Amino acid sequence: MLVMDGDYTYDPKNIKHMLLHAANYDEIIGVRSSSENISWLHRLGNKLINFNFNLLLGARLSDVCSGMYLPRTEALKGFELGSRGFSVEVEIAAYMCSSGRVTEAPISYRRKLKTLRDGFSIITMVFWLARTYNPVFLLATLASLLAVPGAVLTLWQLYLRYVYGAEAWSMGVAWLSIFLLVVGMQGFIVATTALLLKRIVQTFREKR
């Protein structure tokens, strides 16, 4: 079935480009190739959303916010939609990436969005979707962020210890910094492993 915004923002002539892939994929997303009607702020927000979506869900899509897409009806059976507004297409894309095969086709575009409000809503939804469809990678990524303050505190404590002497540093802070660094590194390893496994599964599905 075809889903398309009904406000004259997408051209029905592009449907034929999407139908060319309909036999081999569970969803075809229309990629807005023309940018003259998209502000630079909107383009920047779109890139940020796509980057977070691909990073957190192990995908390789370039326009998850597109309002024109062609999902296979059979692939959507059993799917329970939990979002609303402009986040709907992002949730459908997340579901399809985790359970089926997704590709993209170029289309034209005629409209500007309310960039800040809708963009923030979609970014929030991407994190919610990552928790639902790829929780291991999301949690491991968040844990890996602990390595940054851990490394900073470790270097600071070493600086105090070897520049100003043993009385200048704090044993408690040193242990805390080491704990954060170890947990962060473990999170990074788990996140990398989860991402590799996700992409291996995706590659296997595409070949199949």
DSSP string, 91-125: HHHHHHHHHS-EEEEEE-------HHHHHHHHHHH
Average pLDDT value for residue range 25-52: 84
| pLDDT for residue 115 is more than 60 | no
Nearest residue to 90 (alpha-carbon basis) of 36, 141, 52 = 52
Average pLDDT over residues 171-179: 88
**Higher pLDDT pick, 129 / 31:** 31
Question: Looking at 12-26, 80-94, 121-135, which range is the least confident one?
Answer: 121-135
pLDDT band (50, 70, 90) for residue 118: low
Among 88, 21, 83, 93, CA closest to 60 = 93
Task: Quote the pLDDT of residue 117.
Answer: 65
pLDDT of residue 127: 78
**C-alpha–C-alpha distance, residues 94 and 82, integer Å:** 12
| Confidence check: pLDDT of 50 > 80 | yes
**pLDDT tens-digit series, residues 3-18:** 998 878 888 999 998 9
Looking at the DSSP bridge assignments, the partners of residue 106 are 31
Q: What is the pLDDT of residue 104?
A: 94
* Mean pLDDT on 97-105: 90
191: three-class secondary structure by DSSP: helix
